[in-house]
Structure 1
């Protein structure tokens, strides 16, 4: 899969939590030389700190909560419509904790990427760092990949590794992965060429 982004690319970032990955993209996009603009931030949680980060940066935000819809199909349609309104060139899932639905993926085919704190295909899912530690691996890392209908199964765009130290616990390892994860996501978007 190969996608070439315009310069500047219009990004919609989806986040469910604190928004540290989002903040890295906002900081990068504040530079006139960065080839992307964050045009909106969406969340499935009305109290996500990511929304405040967007507001602080003057970026529009929106919330599409699953609980506000009759079922996942209705939520999928609402999220698709909300994101479509911002005409993104790329949708970045940056700590978004819901699987994207079939309508969303059909609408934004090959234009949705995710950042994951493990070297995929190893350790997909929400507990990647914990799973890596439990498996006793010596190296883990982070992956940016295209999103498909599976759980962290889309084609890999880029990966970077992080050594697992003997003293690591889940928190310390995750913090070191986050440092690399933030840089990798900014670098992947900055190339303008996803393949």
Structure 2
């Protein structure tokens, strides 16, 4: 098997998708290792979990400083760990076009809708309001366009009678935990 690729994860919260990516990386046939977890929120619960798993973590707040300075700091941490691919896992900041350009074709994101439907926020409520019979999640390459990069994997989830945005979100999140590691692994196999 080829050498494992070095993946860095960016998150802003609890990191449930990060946990799924880490668990999958520890399987014998995985194509990647998670070498760093970084966050824009030093208090993000996902950082404590990653530290407990022995993964290098890094956090810096963007508050009160230029976006370019904040991104340069995050990028130094990623490059310091020789990251080859970035996986966004609940990272709630938009990356600048300059950052995206420097990492073009090497940043993946997971989004809780069947793209190109429902880019942005409130995806579950929008799917229910539209009367859709299915919702889901998409893994896509990050481009300058919000949730607009090429889709590399999707998982569908039925919308059930009586679903609320919260009940649907919980089932979509379960689907994300299976989808993201599989899509990342496939992406790295090319």
Quickly name the TM-score band, shorter chain normalised.
Answer: over 0.9
The two structures have a TM-score, normalised by structure 2, of 0.93
2:35 to 32, 36, 39: 39
Matches within 5 A, 1:87-102: 87-102=82-97
2:136/2:155 contact within 8 Å kept? yes
Give the unaligned 5+ runs of structure 1: 1-5
Whether the aligned pair in 2 keeps the contact of 1:76 and 1:102 (CA below 8 Å) is no
Deviations 1:95-122 (A, max 9, x none): 0000111232122110000001100111
CA separation in 2, counterparts of 1:24 and 1:7? Answer: 21
Task: Decide whether the 8 Å contact of 1:79 with 1:104 is kept in 2.
Answer: no
Q: CA deviation at 1:37?
A: 0.5
Q: Distance in 2 between matches of 1:100 and 1:83?
A: 14
Tell me which of 43, 53, 59 is aligned to 2:49.
53
Matched, 1:26 2:9: no
Q: Quick one: structure 1 residues 7 and 185, their matched pair in 2 at CA, closer, same or farther if it must change by over 3 Å?
A: farther
**TM-score by structure 1 length?**
0.91
1:143-182 matches, cutoff 5 A:
143-182=138-177
- Farther-moved stretch of structure 1 (175-184 vs 30-39): 30-39
Mapped pair 1:142 → 2:149: no
> In structure 2, what is the Cα distance between the partners aligned to 1:180 and 1:156?
16
- Count of aligned residue pairs for this structure pair: 188
SS of equivalent residue, structure 2 residue 28: coil
Secondary structure of the equivalent of 2:54? coil
Question: Which blocks of at least 5 consecutive residues in structure 2 are unaligned?
Answer: none
The answer (yes or no) to whether the contact 2:21–2:181 under 8 Å persists in 1 is yes
Q: Does the 8 Å CA contact 1:9/1:89 hold for their aligned counterparts?
A: yes
- Which residue in the other structure is 1:64 paired with? 60
Match of 1:3 in 2: none
Q: CA RMSD in A?
A: 1.4
The Cα offsets for residues 133-181 of structure 1, whole Å up to 9 and x where unpaired, read as 2222111111000001121011111111111001211111011111111
Q: Which residue of 1 aligns with 2:185?
A: 190
8 Å Cα contact 1:114-1:145 kept in structure 2: yes
Work out the CA distance in 2 between the residues paired with 1:30 and 1:49: 21
